Structure 1
Amino acid sequence: MEWIGLASTALGALVGLAATFVLDRERWRRESDQRRRDDRRAVYTSFLAATAEASEILINIARGHDADASASSRAQTVIRDSRVLTRRLELSLIAEQAVMEQANRLVDRLRDYRHVVGQGLAGDMEAVDQARMAYNDQRDQLVEVMRKTL
């Protein structure tokens, strides 16, 4: 009869070890998923901030707030100077394909916006506003896709 007590103790220990292993594995998976979401959120935010900075510079140039001799050249280099392309490369390392497609479209809309402002069309605010609205619409679409991945 002594072996029954020993067997039940061993079985209890095995069940306890298995339960601990399963719970630890689940906790590790949740923490790992949270770290990935946090990393993704940080890169998303960095990319969106860079594009927002570029957009702000462009609207200030278009509205004449930054109207000096170098305004046109700043408009032409705004994407580089705001590090939009660098941030897009970072994004490409962690983002899903749907996010990258929308991000690439956003950069295209930002380039269109830059082109309109760089042409010196500040007097034609309708063209500038259309380019800015196209950029804003694309940014909103990107944000929606990004939210779905977080």
Structure 2
Amino acid sequence: MDWIAPVGTIGGAIVGVGSALLAERLRWRRERDQQWAQQRRAVYREFVMASSRAHSQMRASALKAGLSERERFSEIHQAIDSSQLWQQRQALSLTAPSHIVSLAAEVTQALEAIRDVLIEDPSITGDRFLHLRATYWLKNADLREAMRSDLGMSGPPDPEVGHYRGPDPVP
């Protein structure tokens, strides 16, 4: 009967250490998941901002008066290149799930289509530009909504998802 106290003590120590290890493991996993979500949020934010910069800078370049075709070509390409869109898309491909990478590729392709149209015709009021811009905005809204969903954000959806206030997008 002298063995019951030491066995009980050892059993209690095992349960105590085991529960402490389990609690520590759960805390570590929760912190790791939070850090991963923060990293994805930062990459998502940078891509969306780069996309917006590319669009704005291309429009500004197209509006510059007195540029030759060669200068306009260079300015518009420089606008999209200096936005860091390509770098942020590569970072996104290392961080995001495949469906978000696909949506980001669609946003990038929409910007490339805008770039090509602005090189040909620098008008930002022409039908081709307006339709391509509508396509870009809708794809960008879909991407943002997918990013919000991936990050577990609650609340109403992005109001631009599935809606656009301008001409119909390019089919």
TM-score, structure 1 length as denominator?
Answer: 0.89
1:15 corresponds to which residue?
15
Count of equivalent residues: 148
Counterparts of 1:24-103 in structure 2, within 5 Å, are: 24-62=24-62, 64=63, 66-69=64-67, 70-103=71-104
Higher RCO (CA-CA < 8 Å; seq separation 6+): 1
Cα 1:79–1:60 shift into 2, 3 Å: closer
TM-score, structure 2 length as denominator?
Answer: 0.79
Q: Distance in 1 between matches of 2:66 and 2:149?
A: 42
**Cα contact 1:99–1:142 (8 A) shared by 2:** yes
Q: Which runs of 5+ in 2 are unaligned?
A: 152-171
**Cα contact 1:76–1:115 (8 A) shared by 2:** no
Q: Which runs of 5+ in 1 are unaligned?
A: none
Q: Percent sequence identity over matched residues?
A: 30
How many angstroms does 1:95 deviate by?
A: 1.1
Cα 1:25–1:97 shift into 2, 3 Å: same
Point out the structure with the larger helix share.
1
1:132 corresponds to which residue?
133
How many angstroms does 1:117 deviate by?
A: 1.3
Q: Deviations over 1:32-58 (max 9, x none)?
A: 111111111111111111110011112
SS at match of 1:2: coil
Deviates more, 1:48-57 or 1:124-133: 124-133
2:116 corresponds to which residue?
115
How many angstroms does 1:124 deviate by?
A: 4.5
**Cα contact 2:58–2:115 (8 A) shared by 1:** yes
Q: Distance in 2 between matches of 1:97 and 1:13?
A: 46
Aligned-pair Cα RMSD in Å = 1.7
**Cα contact 2:40–2:95 (8 A) shared by 1:** yes
**Cα contact 2:57–2:80 (8 A) shared by 1:** no
